[in-house]
Amino acid sequence: MIMIDFRPILNICGLLMVIMAVAMIFPALADIASNNPDFNVFITTAALTAFIGGALYLATRTDVPTELSRRQAFALTTGAWLSVSLVGALPFVFYGGSMSWADAIFESVSGITTTGATVISGLEAQPPGILLWRHVLQWIGGVGVILMAIIMLPFLGVGGCSFLKQKIPNDRAASFRAPDSSWFISVPFIRP
């Protein structure tokens, strides 16, 4: 049985947690703009998430670039989905209402999977920070699905990547850059 090296997986999950922490700043700003005193929930959860994610990222960082194996890619998909969903639930749990962990995780997973289902009653009356957080989770989920497909399809030999590798000589091989592609995919979906 071949053991999986979890360091690259944990490294990327830590980076995703830091990205989620940055995303929590926007609902905090919305609450500050509307004079809602619960903005500190987003600030606190962002700081906690950034600390844990940053520590995980730094603890698993290596100087040698690692190419993920197929097993690592599948483990990364699962780990990323779980870590983002759990971190996304934190503001719901600690916000002014009395949302249980189960409801908060449901709300977070609903956003990350872009299902749109909610357990929040009286959604229209909720503070702007919570409403914006729900939308941010759905945006992250929608863009995340596209990016995971872009990252996973070459590992599976599906799509045009395997055709491209066959037709281009090794000395002129096109280097696929997921980070570059992520900007081209996600930026058009940001509206002022």
Q: What pLDDT sits at residue 188?
A: 64
Residue 2 covered by a domain? no
Which domain does 38 fall in, by range?
A: 7-189
What are the residues whose beta carbons fall under 8 Å from the beta carbon of 104, sequence distance 6 or more?
Answer: 89, 90, 92, 93
Residue 57 covered by a domain? yes
Residue pair 110/1 in contact (Cβ under 8 Å)? The answer is no
Residue 45 covered by a domain? yes
Lowest mean pLDDT among 11-15, 139-143, 162-166: 162-166
Q: What pLDDT sits at residue 172?
A: 42
Q: What pLDDT sits at residue 150?
A: 72
Q: Is the pTM of this model over 0.75?
A: yes
The mean pLDDT of 16-45, rounded to a whole number, is 95
Q: Would the pLDDT of 192 be above 80?
A: no
Question: Quick one: pLDDT band at residue 67, thresholds 50, 70, 90?
Answer: confident
Comparing 174 with 17, which gets the higher pLDDT? 17
Q: Would the pLDDT of 173 be above 50?
A: no
Residue 1 covered by a domain? no
Q: What is the pLDDT of residues 87-101, one digit of tens each?
A: 999 999 998 767 899
Comparing 63 with 77, which gets the higher pLDDT? 77
Give me the number of domains the chain comprises: 1
What are the residues whose beta carbons fall under 8 Å from the beta carbon of 120, sequence distance 6 or more?
Answer: 97, 99, 107, 126, 130
Q: What is the dihedral of CA 177, 134, 11, 143, to 10 degrees?
A: -10
CA distances in angstroms from 187 to 176, 182, 192, listed in the order given: 19, 8, 11
The mean pLDDT of 27-48, rounded to a whole number, is 95
Q: What pLDDT sits at residue 53?
A: 97
Residue 44 covered by a domain? yes
